[in-house]
Amino acid sequence: MGWRTLHSDLLQERVLYTKLDVGLEVFVMPRPGFHKRYAVFSTRYGSIDNRFRRPGSDAVTEVPDGIAHFLEHQLFEDEEGHVFDGFAALGASVNAYTSHTMTSYLFSTTDNFEQAFDRLLDFVQAPHFTPEGVRKEIGIIEQEIRMYEDQPRHRLALNLLQALYHVHPVRIDIAGTVDSIRRIDAETLYVCYDTFYHPSNMAVFVVGDVDPDTVLAQVEADVAGRGYSPRPAVERTYPDEPETVAQSRVEARLAAARPLYAVGFKDPVWAMSEAERLRAEVETSLVLSASLGRSSRLYQELYDADLIDDGFSARYQLGTNFGHTVIGGETQDPDALHARLLEGLERLREEGLDEGDLRRVQRQAVGEFVQMFNSLEFIANGFLYYHFLGGSLFGYLSELQAVTVDEANRRLREHFHPDRAAVSIVRPA
């Protein structure tokens, strides 16, 4: 099987891609001159995948909230003890993270790349779940959850998702709850592992000063020894999510210095095709820069009125079957900010953005995108993120440059609809 080459003329970079017979996808981006070599091994499995049909079964399996994240922690257990030690002996730095839609295991190293890469491939494909390991992890993850509970920003964001969504599992905290993780056992971990950690559901990305053919040979040899057979895709089941928001406003009190405010706009992307969703993301990101970026009239007005500060942000978040914009930050007066912000967005929807605004933020976005390619971590994780959404990180740039002012304005009008908005506020306790 040969490589397919993806090019970016602007970046003067290429990524090699191939798919093995068992379905595992492999990407390599050579970056000579870098000391660091970075590899990530990801599965399309995140916190929202809590109801599914196992291949060959009609019954829906339902698992405790937070189990994808719990499993990520537990894969670091092996028969000899802890996976960290094996990487440490090679001078490599290993880590992992779980999002709503994916789980990724990664390492970076300036030496012993091939051995470290072997270890990565091995520990992700060799689970070792035991009752003792699970018990120990409950204590650790409980402290991780407690840490988040003490973060006003985390509460703000979680409350917003719970206001935006009625039933979609994106409203559940990625780590689960102190109660839900206590219901996790080794057997259920194996069920989730067998379902979602098949190579056909996974991808590897390697970036740095490496030889692509050597990387591929290593992956092929590793996978060949594990006796996989091809398998149909996992069937995930999600409840039907209404287009309306679950709750238009939610408030909480927490030990915080000042109030925190966030408004979300729900985007019913589950009704869109893959291409439409990716397009929606690009358009929304540009619209947000033009409407609420530092160069916008609205940002300046809100800043001068002492309603926002440096930490104010506006971002679109896209998942496989959810999408929403989140705008907010710390503020002296969340109610005044909410009123002025919605009024400003309403004004923009009527007046529209002009061509000059859009061209400027497009230029900025191109520059920012190029700058991100200094980071090997961004490259690898960004590539897999877009790939799992059905797109390409390189393609993002051309999509971005192609957006017209009419498209941006149509997006502005349809997305920032007051009926699709929910507000989350956290006030000092």
Partner 1 sequence: MQIEFESIAIDRGFTLHVAPTDKFKTTSIRLVLRRSLRADSHTQTAVIPFVLRRGTRELPTARDIARHLENLYGAEFAVDVNKIGETQNIELFLDVVNERFLPEELPLTEAALAFLGQVTLDPAIEDGVFRRDYVAQEAEALRRRIESLINNKPQYALNRLRQEMCSGEPFGLHKYGDVEQLRHVAPAELWAHYRHVLATSPVDVFVVGPVDPGQVAGWVREHLALPRGEVEMPPAVAVPDPAARTERLIFEEQPVQQGVLALGYRTGTRYPDDDYAALLMYNGLLGGFPHSKLFVNVRERASLAYFASSQLEASKGVLWVVAGIPVEKYEQALAIIREQVEAMGSGRFTDQELENTRKGLINGVLSAQDSPGRIIGGRLVGIVNGRVRPVQEVLAALRRVTRDDVVRVAARIRPDTVFFLRAPQAASGKEGH
Task: For residue 81, list its beta bridge partners.
Answer: 78
Minimum CB–partner distance for residue 190 and partner 1 (Å): 22
How far, CA to CA in Å, does 160 sit from each of 135, 149, 153, 236, 264? 32, 15, 11, 24, 7
Minimum CB–partner distance for residue 257 and partner 1 (Å): 4
Binding test (CB under 8 A) with partner 1, winner from 94, 189, 318, 380: 94
276 binds partner 1 (CB under 8 A): no
Binding test (CB under 8 A) with partner 1, winner from 126, 147, 167, 271: 147
Sheet holding 51-53, edge to edge: 60-62, 51-53, 235-236
150 binds partner 1 (CB under 8 A): yes
Nearest to 71 by CA among 203, 192, 234: 192
As given in the structure block, the two tokens for residue 316 are 């679109």
Longest dimension (CA), the chain: 65
77 catalytic? Reply is no
11 binds partner 1 (CB under 8 A): yes
79 binds partner 1 (CB under 8 A): no
Site string for partner 1, 116-145 (x = CB under 8 A): -------------------xxxxxxxxxx-
How far, CA to CA in Å, does 419 sit from each of 26, 171, 281, 425? 43, 19, 20, 18
347 binds partner 1 (CB under 8 A): no
15 binds partner 1 (CB under 8 A): no
255 binds partner 1 (CB under 8 A): yes
Only one of the segments 151-159, 236-244, 384-392, 403-411 lies at the binding site for partner 1 (rule: CB under 8 A); that segment is: 151-159
> Of 376 and 423, which CB lies nearer to partner 1 in the complex structure?
376
Site string for partner 1, 297-336 (x = CB under 8 A): x-xx--x--x--xx-------------------x------
Rule CB under 8 A: which of 99-118 touch partner 1? 108-111
Minimum CB–partner distance for residue 195 and partner 1 (Å): 27
Nearest to 95 by CA among 121, 120, 125, 67: 120
Minimum CB–partner distance for residue 303 and partner 1 (Å): 7
90 binds partner 1 (CB under 8 A): yes
425 binds partner 1 (CB under 8 A): no
For the chain, the distance separating the N- and C-terminal CA atoms, rounded to the nearest angstrom, is 61
Q: How far apart are CA 66 and CA 72, in angstroms?
A: 10
Rule CB under 8 A: which of 22-51 touch partner 1? 33-36
Only one of the segments 59-67, 96-104, 149-157, 316-324 lies at the binding site for partner 1 (rule: CB under 8 A); that segment is: 149-157
Label residues 252-264 b or e (16+ Cβ within 10 Å = b): bebebebbbbbbb
Q: DSSP label at 420?
A: G
Identified catalytic residue from 25, 62, 72, 330: 72
Label residues 193-211 b or e (16+ Cβ within 10 Å = b): bebbbbbbbbbbbbbbebe
Nearest to 280 by CA among 100, 157, 407: 407
In contact, 238 and 321? CB cutoff 8 Å: yes
Helix ranges restricted to H, 236-327: 274-292, 297-304
Rule CB under 8 A: which of 355-414 touch partner 1? 360-361, 363-368, 370-371, 373-376
> Of 46 and 152, which CB lies nearer to partner 1 in the complex structure?
152
User: Helix or strand or coil: residue 303?
Assistant: helix
Minimum CB–partner distance for residue 371 and partner 1 (Å): 5
In contact, 34 and 186? CB cutoff 8 Å: no
CB-side exposure of 323: number of CA atoms within 13 Å?
A: 25
Tell me how many residues contact partner 1 (CB under 8 A): 71
Site string for partner 1, 182-221 (x = CB under 8 A): ----------------------------------------
Q: How far apart are CA 216 and CA 197, in angstroms?
A: 19
294 binds partner 1 (CB under 8 A): yes
Report, as residue numbers or ranges, the catalytic residues.
72
